[in-house]
A and B are shown apart, each in its own frame.
Chain A
Amino acid sequence: MKNLIKYEFRKTWSTKLIILVITACMELAFLISLYLDKENFTGISAVFLTFLAFGGILFIGIQSILTMHQDMNTKQGYMLYMTPNSCYKILGGKVIENGLSIFVAGAFFFVLGVLDVTLLFGHYGQLDQLMEFVTDLMKQLRIETTLDWRLFLALTVSFLCGWLSTVMTAYLADVVATCLLNGKKHNGWIALLLFILINWGVTSLQQVCTRNMSWIPAFYWDAAIAIGFSVLMYLATAMLMDRHLSV
């Protein structure tokens, strides 16, 4: 398993490095503009960093789906599938590498975000006012929660779990298209439809749980259901690969 994870990382590390370098450049621009009191540049770089955080995490997942597709549909897949590893282990390696990458990237951007926000408002001395303003706004919207780093952390974890579950759904849809519908007309569309249907199912279940168990914050439910579905989809995908996958 260790080797499978290692080579999954090797396949995608160059893109991760590019994301890291762009983030470093933007962070540097943010810090310099903050130091020089260039408010416009500080704002622009902060917005870019926010987009980069979401975009980077989304791209890591998308790249994992593309790599999975390539491993099943090109001759390079022989390198992976001729090794003495079961499909459960092969898929497990992909899921662990991708899950770790998403969560490490999420943690990295979360810490960077907290540091930058602290620096920003520490520099301009308006952090307390902003927090009060946002908390008042949330109260007016009847969102009964305290705005603090724990909430941000819970929301981040919930977002990451949701994204992992979406990636797992895409894995399943791709495997169905490759294994069961290969060569059949409109297989791509059927896979897309399956992907949309499963995602709709997950979202609906999350909404039902949130409605009926409102004493538990929604993001806990979202995260728990996303993890549960990820496990189910891992098992279904690996089983399909084991029985039907020809590379």
Chain B
Amino acid sequence: MLKSEEVTKVFGATKAVDQVSLSLEQGHIYAMLGPNGSGKTTWMKMAAGLCKPTSGVVKFEGEPVGVNSRAHIAYMSTEPYFYTWMSLRDVGRYYEDFFTDFSMMRYAELLNSFELDESMKIKNLSSGMMAKAKIAVTLARDATVWMLDEPFNGIDLLARDRIKEAIIAAASPDKLLLMSSHLVEEMETIADRAVFIRSGKLVKEVDIETERIENGCSIADEYRQIYGMQGGAEA
């Protein structure tokens, strides 16, 4: 469904993503793991069509990502990106105007479950509220692919549980969910596959259940094995 073919992204002298080839299939929830600066966000931005690869291509259903794929891929950036002059209601209307798969009703339900009011102004939201609002507007789309960059950042434990419920509810055999996070153990409870990235390179792609049964290894263990050597473990 989403395929990355030898994708490289260079910023000045820095290779943020280095020859990443990856194939993500529908019906799975993927955890994209790696320490800060490993290239997760850059790869997601390229898959969302916001950032152009220096070389290689990201394909959605066989076609390079671009205008058409944006109608089917819902991307949530880790940084706040709403216009500050908007209220949460305006954000919903904006999505409704541009995305045919957006449901204002679902958005209102999600906002309600996160104890947010539609009349709240974006400029007055705390970082935790902003994180919840981003999740709500992204999951209110009936997209084919959801890509959530650090969805649990700045969110308290109880809200995190509600977000996990919303993510699991969104998953289905014809959808693909990809999330990046530093909270490795948290991801283990949601994802069924994990992708490890280090210094812009793809290190490993594993089926979490298979790894647990066959090697008795959790993804936190995998994470420690992969990144522990470089002292960059953030699990």
Within 8 A of B (CB), among A47-105: 75-79, 81-86
Identify whether the interface residues of B are mostly helix, strand, loop, or mixed.
Answer: loop
Is A246's CB within 8 Å of the partner chain B? yes
CB of B80 within 8 A of CB of A3, answer: no
CB pair B48–A82 under 8 Å, yes or no, is yes
Instruction: Give the CA-CA distance A81 to B98 in the complex, in Å.
Output: 11
When the two chains form their complex, are residues A83 and B85 in contact, meaning their CB atoms are under 8 A apart?
Answer: no
**Does A108 belong to the interface (CB within 8 Å)?**
no
Per the CB 8 Å criterion, the residue count for chain B at the interface is 25
A83 touches B81 (CB 8 A): no
- What interface size band does chain A fall in? 20 to 34
Structural contact, B70 and A84, CB atoms closer than 8 A: yes
Is A38 part of the contact surface with B, judged by Cβ < 8 Å? no
A-B contact count (CB 8 A): 56
Q: How far, in angstroms, from A85 to B70 measured CA to CA in the complex? A: 8
Instruction: Specify which chain A residues have a CB less than 8 angstroms from the CB of B67 in the assembled complex.
Output: 84-86
A3 CB, nearest partner CB in chain B, Å: 4
Chain B 62-102, CB within 8 Å of chain A: the 1/0 string? Answer: 00000110110001010111111100000000100111000
Is B216 in the interface zone, CB < 8 Å from A?
Answer: no
Contacts of A6 in B (CB 8 A): 97
Q: How far is the CB of A148 from chain B (nearest CB, A)?
A: 44
- Is B52 interfacial (CB 8 A cutoff)? yes
By a CB distance below 8 angstroms, the chain A residues around B71 are 84
Judged by a CB distance under 8 angstroms, whether B50 is at the interface is yes
Instruction: Using CB atoms and an 8 Å cutoff, list the residues of chain A in contact with chain B.
Output: 3, 6-7, 10-11, 14, 75-79, 81-86, 183, 243-247
